[in-house]
Structures are given as structure tokens and as C-alpha cells.
Amino acid sequence: MVAKAITSLVLALLLAACGGGNGDDPRDLYRVSGVIVPDALNRVDTDTNDPDTPLIPNNTPEEAQPVLAPALIGGFVAAPGTDTRFGPDGDKYDMFRVDLQEGQKIVLDFPESPGVDLGLYLFDEDGEAQDATVGNSAPLSLAPDAAGTYIVAVRADSGMSNYALRLDATHSLALESRRAPRVSDDFVSGDLIVRHPRDRGISMADTARGMGLRIAAGHPAREQLWRVSGDRAGQAMEALSGWSPVRQRLRWADPEDQARYETLRAMKTLGEMPDVEAVSLNHIVRPTRLPDDPFQGLQWFHRNIDLPLAWDIGTGEPPDSEVVVAVIDTGVFLEHEDLRGQLLPGYDFIQMEPTGDDPGDSPMLGASSWHGTHVAGIAAAATDNATGIAGVSWGARILPVRTLGEGGGTLYDTLQGIRYAAGLPNDSETVPERPADVINLSLGGGSFSQAQADLYQGIRDEGIFVLAASGNSAGSVTFPAAYDAVFAVGATDAVNDRASYSSFGNQLAFVAPGGDMRVDRTGDGYPDGLLSTLVDDTSGSRKSAYAFYQGTSMATAVASGVVALARSVHPELTPERFEQVLVAGLLTDDLGPEGWDPETGWGQINALRTLMAVTDGDSDLDPVLTARPGRLEFGLTEDLLEFSLRNVGGGSLRVTEVQANTPGQTDWMQVNPKSVGADGLGSYTVMVDRDGLPDGSYEGSITVQTESLEDLVIPVLLRVAAPELALDTVGRIYVVLVDADGEAVAARGVDPENGVYNYRFDDVAAGEYHIVAGTDMNNDGFICDAGEACGAFPTLSLFEQVQIDRDREGLDFSVGFRARVGDTLLGSGQSGAGDGSAGFARP
């Protein structure tokens, strides 16, 4: 039997206490099966430490593994002398040959661990070094200064480690944060700014002289400028290299870069000395201005609901009225850099304390979901503050209420939290200063209760909106979303189709973007999850982070943010009035058959239409033509996509021409009407033909002309590559079946077939189980360690039990590596503990 390790995983966020057990009859045995899809753009190093995988060296420029950008590559490197399958020589280099554009970002992330020292290097086709970055902590990043074919290398200078290497999309934003220095940075070669404990001033001066350095400026009580003397440069660098595990000199294209690289190594070596408190380069500084909300460009769902246009009407900030959104969840990380100013005093109904803080829902570092923090950021993160992301409502205040914790939560605690948020009597014997205007329930579980139905109806009668997630089982809408007084919210993907996991049925009110991590149809170089605030606790302390999640939980947060915006511009808006205009078709974009349908309800919430409807202002507005999606990304495999044209403003307009443009290239794209009215508005299909096109990236566009407005241009991107490079993969994975007691009762190793993983367990006893899958690239016997691919049914952010009382097919989910932007985590947040042993044991 596989070892028990349930505590290392993302725990269920369900309200129901599901009992568990092995069924009434132990003789009842069933089959469990499904398909696991790798996240979009995932690739894997061809020589990891997993002995059950093929060993294809990629250690030299001649052996460099060909890859395409954008990509997220999971891998493993080991310095010589480490105990691995590679013997005494280790696996020092992983090299990848890739075509990059000028400024295209390369980011290396790896778990911080004592004795592990990785570097990121950029070589030209001939193996001459162009740039490098070293640092004491991840992430490390580089960017080429010209387009061309490059070799990107990960190097292990000491220790061994998993890593995630991200090659950004060509057109993605140049997001900068507190990254490690690069050879190509603008700094004074040979200069170092050093700070050390005040009582070490004399000894440190002696240390500097002994290393061939001189103290050129400063004072022992503060920072000092250490400089390599010109006639002693060789002595200084030789002395410093004695502290470093690196002896090998690289061959640099520009000889001056050798001295700059040695300065970086000297900085790193000094930083590791016990007598040095801090050390940095002497950068050349110039005036600059950071853009606001640097990650907002990755929040594709804002455009899907016309949120930027809606902000022209109201942002939720003064003079709009202040609105309170209660997040009933795992709590919220109160010190998150992008949430601090948005939070009100909350309450913890698990510990019964007057705080809404989220301490984590797992005892293992790196394994908590931070679900409430993610939900809160989507709805109302601080916006226009040059930090992180943008919330749907800029001015909404978050009331954090913790009712979910380790192992989930109870229905009773959650009901107390809802009562508290609504200003009703509850077990805390206190209420917030003012009741919430909107209550967000990104959770589900339990069955119908008349008492609960009456509670929700009473809250609605007080003018408070309650929105709840429809569920992630692709089945019927779950409770509490199924109550009549609650607005049930389903999920769509980036192209406005119902997400495959989204539950549906008669109780569904409408849908909102919830994402699909299996694909990258937005073309931003990341799987299509929703980016929001999260926590990185892998170092042992909580730090602000940002991550992509998918699910109806995320869709509900989007909807809550839109309702908060509507309430801010129309403070007298009631749930009844909102439902009236919803049914009238004034708040949403109808995605299915005309009117209501069970899969998408009344359609997808549209922020612009909602604000226009509640302010009764659309009759005086000019027409506004929009396309959804606003960009078509065919990637490597898609050949047919759709877009729709709509007038989201007032008045009327008429489309006169829709034209495909492939300038200077073969006509590889065709546009045809699918369901179009006399005014030219409606849905269109776009087909592409890769036959005869050489490998590479192609950019085209679709121009939409009208009688009265400026032309609307829809960018189109197409990629062509050999079939073996086009498939997403994380390499070999291990699928583990875990019973209700947390015991891993079965495991299977699975290799990809045509880009997917087909798994099956036979002879499974009746009961409730979790299903988890991941890689074991470091061969420590555990999957889902830091830096490894991980996935769970139905998603990592909402890890649910499956009832096995019959043969179960179609238990599908995705698996993928995790990455960062700048110094912030991007992914599911469930990367395991940093010690490399916090996953499930594999066979």
C-alpha cells in the first residue's frame, strides 16, 4: 500500500461533512477512469532524475532540446557529486534551443533550499554567452536584446533541484519586479555596495583588503562602497572565486561581459559570508515610472465582460458609494500588498476570534489553497496602485469571514458567518459595523434545508445580494447556489463557452468567466485561469503572491465584483430590481439559445451593460462595437475559432464589411458569418490552413468596418511547428487514489498518449476518494513536490471527494507546472513543501 500523505495536498473546500467509509459491502468493486490533460504550453526536460522516464541528454549546445515559445518547462538539474541517476558528473546543464523575440522574457523559478545554487544563462547559436543572472533566491530572469535563435540554459552550481522555466509570449507585458541582477544590467563593473553589522567595521575592512578590494566610500555604521582596484582585479576575483563553487569560465561574446559576470559572482559570494548583512551592485539609476497594476494585462476576463468600458461609468471609488463585499471562505491574508487597504475587520468562526485572517488550510508549507484570498482579489483588489492586479470594483471594501479551514468547514460555521455578514444574531455575539451589501459564497455542499432557505430569503429581503458558485462537477447546481433567494453563478472559459466543469440546471442565474487551465486561448503565455491574489508560504512565512485558478468560485467572485460596481453607482439597487433587469436581458450577453438556458442561465454578466442598465442611461449613449474574444489565438493545434460582434452601447450601428488580413503572406485565414443579423452583428467563424506554411509564428488580423465608427481590428495569431513540438506534456505522471481516511490506496504511472493521459483503477472498493496526479522529477518517491507538475480532481483550487458506488468514468482534470511573474507565484499555489518531500508517495 502506498504511504499515507494526505496532509500535503490541497484540502477540500466543501461545506458538507461527507462521512466517508468503504461502503456497506466490501465485496462491491468498481472501475474508476478518466483523462488527464496537461496544462497549456507545458513542456518537460528530457533528462530528469525519474528513472522511469527516458534519458535524452540536453547538456551541451549540440544536444540542446528544441522547444517553442511561449512555454512553461519543468525540469531537474544536479551539480557534479550529487547522488542522482547521472553518476558523479551530475546533470549540470539543461539547454533548450528556442527562437526568441527582442525583449521576450525568460524566467527561472526553483524551490529555495540550503545548498542549492542555480543560474540562468543565455547563449547564442554558437554557444557564446550573451547574458546571465545569478542570485541567492528565485526567480531569475533574462531577456534577449535582439530577435534570433538562442540557447537558454539552466545550470546547477551546487546541489540538485526541480525547476520551472518560463518562456514568455512574444507580445506579453514586460513585467519587472524584484528580480536577480543580470550581466546585461546597467551597473558599474567592479563596484559592490556592502552593509555589515556595526561591530564588524574594522574586521570587514581587513577582509576587503585581503580580497583585493578597497573601501571607496561609506561608513561602517551604514552601507559602504567596495571597489576592485584595477591593478588587483585578478587577485580580488581569484579570492572571491575561492568562496564560490563555480570554477569554470564561460566564453563570452563580449569580453567586457566577463568582468561584469565576475562582479555578479563576487556579489553572490560576499552575500553568503556570515559577516555580510547585505550586498548589491552599484547600479546606474535614471528617472523612471512603474505602470499601475502591472499584472492587469493578464486579467483577460476583464475584457470578456467589458469591464474597462464599465469603469468609464463607475469604478466603485468616490463619488460612487462605498460597498461592502463579504467573502465567506478560508479567510483573507490581511497583510497582502494588494488587499491591505481594502479590508474591514472580520471574524474567524473556526477559532471564534475577531479576525478574518487566513492562516492556511494545510499544516504543510506550500499546500494551502488560500482560496479566500484569491476570491477577494478578483472582486476588489486595490487598483491603480502600481501593484499586482486590478479588482473588478476598485473601491469595494472586503469583509473577510473565515468558516473554512483544514479539512474544509462545517455548515453550521458557515451559516454563522453568513449571519454575521448580514448583521444578524450569530454565535460571535457581534456584528460588523455595517452589514455587507454583497455576500460571496464561493463554496458548495449539503442538501436542501427549509431553515437555510428562509435565512437566505430573509437576507435578500433586507436588500443584500447573495451570490454562490454553481459547482465544479459539471452536474446539477449545488447548494447553497440552488436556493431561490441566491444568485447561482456558473463559469465560462476565455472564449465565452461554458467551462467543462461548470455545474448547470434550472437554478442557474447567469455565468461569468471562470477559466480553463488546460488551454491558452488568450495567447498571453499562461493557461487560461483567473489571475488573482494568493500567498506563498514555502519559506515558512506568508508572502504576497499572485496565482491563476479556475472554477465557479472564481466566476462568482467576478460576478460579486460587478454587483458591487452596480450597487456603488446605484445605492438603492435591490436584488429584486437586479433580477428584473437580468430577466429582461439587460445585464448579460446571451451565449446560448435566446433567453434563459440551463447551461448559461440568462447569459454571461457584462459589466458595461449592467452599469448602463442600473443607471438607466443607455438611450443617450453612442453605439460601441466590441468583438468577443478581442483576440484570436490559434496556437499550434486549433484550426477553427469563433468571435461575435455586439453593440454594447446605445443607439444602433451597421457592420458593412468583415475582412481577413494576412499581410505579405499566404492567405491562410478565412472569415465566414455563422449567425448574423441584417445589421452585421452576431457570430462569425474563422478558419486557418497551416498546409504549406513553414514552421514559425504568423500574425494576421480581422478588420470590421461600420457605417459610422472607426474600424475595429481583431488581432489573429497562428503558430506552425512539427507535431512532436506542438503537444503539451509534463512527461510521465503518477496518479494516486486516496480514500476518505487519507490513505493512498492505489497508484499508477502513466505516460502521455497523443497529448493526454488515460488512467484507470480497477477493483476499487465503494467509498469516497480523492484523485491526485503529478510528476516525480527529483525521484524522491513523492509527487507534487515544489517545482513538479501537480493536478487533482476536479481542480487543485477545489479538491473534492468522489463518491464511488458504481463504475465511474469521465473523472477528467488537468495537471501542470507552476510559474511566477517577477517575484510572485503564478500557478495554483499548490507546489508542495520546499523540502522536496511533501507530496504523495508513488509506486
Which of 118-127, 205-214, 520-529 shows the lowest per-residue confidence on average (mean pLDDT)?
205-214
Average pLDDT over residues 467-477: 91
User: Which string of b and e fits 277-315 if b means at least 16 CB within 10 Å?
Assistant: eebbbbeeeeeeeeeebbbbbbbbbbbbbbbebbbebbb
Segment 620-631 mean pLDDT: 76
The least confident of 29-33, 167-171, 241-245 is 241-245
Give the per-residue pLDDT at 580.
86
Q: Nearest Cα to 551, choosing from 665, 691, 443?
A: 443
**Higher local confidence (pLDDT), 220 or 517:** 517
What average pLDDT does this structure show over 699-721? 91
How many percent of the chain have pLDDT more than 90? 52
Kindly report, residue by residue over 515-547, the tens digit of the pLDDT. Answer: 998 888 888 888 899 999 999 888 889 999 999
- In this prediction, residues 551-571 reach a mean pLDDT of 96
> What was the pLDDT predicted at 273?
75
User: For residue 504, how many other CB atoms are within 10 A of its CB?
Assistant: 22
pLDDT of residue 839: 60
What is the arithmetic mean of pLDDT over 117-129?
92
* Range in 19-33, 302-316, 664-678, 733-747 the model is least confident about: 19-33
Q: How far is CA 456 from CA 461, 485, 734, in A?
A: 9, 6, 43
DSSP letter at 200? Answer: G
**What does the pLDDT look like over 449-469, one tens digit per residue?**
888 999 999 999 999 999 999
**Which has more pLDDT, 387 or 293?**
387
Q: Say if CB 534 and CB 545 are below 8 A apart.
A: yes
State the average pLDDT over residues 536-565.
93
Cis-peptide into 319, omega within 30 deg: yes
Mean pLDDT lowest for which of 139-153, 194-208, 672-686, 705-719? 194-208
pLDDT score recorded for residue 616: 67
Model confidence pLDDT, tens digit, residues 676-687:
999 999 999 999
* pLDDT of res. 20: 33
Report whether 693 contacts 720 (CB < 8 A). Answer: yes
DSSP states of 238-296: HHHHTTSS--PPP-BSSTHHHHHHHHHHHHHHHHTSTT-SEEEEEE------PPSSTTG
pLDDT of 154 strictly over 50: yes
Q: Which residue has the higher pLDDT, 31 or 216?
A: 31
Reported as type and span, the H/E element at residue 402 is strand 397-402
Choose between 750 and 275: higher pLDDT.
750
Exposure on the CB side of residue 539, measured as CA atoms within 13 A: 12
Q: What's the pLDDT at 27?
A: 53
Neighbours of 809 (CB within 10 A): 12
Q: For residue 231, what pLDDT is reported? A: 52
Domains and CATH numbers, the chain: 6-41+726-841 (2.60.40.10), 43-167 (2.60.120.380), 187-283 (3.30.70.920), 296-617 (3.40.50.200), 625-635+637-720 (2.60.40.10)
pLDDT computed for residue 841 by the predictor: 64
Return the active site residues. Answer: 329, 371, 553
H-run or E-run covering 202: helix 201-210
The whole-number pLDDT of residue 103 equals 84
Task: Please give the mean pLDDT across all residues of the chain.
Answer: 84
Q: Does position 779 have pLDDT exceeding 70, yes or no?
A: yes
The single-letter code of the amino acid at 754 is N
What value does the mean pLDDT take over residues 655-668? 89
pLDDT for res 230: 53
pLDDT at 663: 79
Non-local (6+) Cβ contacts of 69 within 8 A are 98, 99, 100, 104, 167, 168, 169, 170
pLDDT at 643 over 80: yes
What is the per-residue pLDDT across 3-45, written as a single tens digit (0 to 9) for each?
333 223 322 322 222 223 334 445 589 999 999 999 988 999 9
Here the cell at position 108 is: 527561472
Region 502-508: mean pLDDT is 91
Q: How much is the pLDDT for 191?
A: 85
Give the strand pairing for 29-38 and 813-815. parallel
Residue 750 has pLDDT above 60, yes or no: yes
Under a CB-based contact definition with an 8 Å cutoff, are residues 363 and 475 in contact?
Answer: no
pLDDT tens column, 791-843: 999 887 767 789 999 999 999 999 999 765 434 444 433 322 223 345 666 65
- How far is it, in rounded angstroms, from Cα 531 to Cα 708? 36
> Pick from 761, 781, 757, 780: which is nearest to 770 by CA?
761
Q: Of the ranges 286-300, 585-599, 624-638, which one carries the lowest mean pLDDT score?
A: 286-300
pLDDT given at position 28? 82
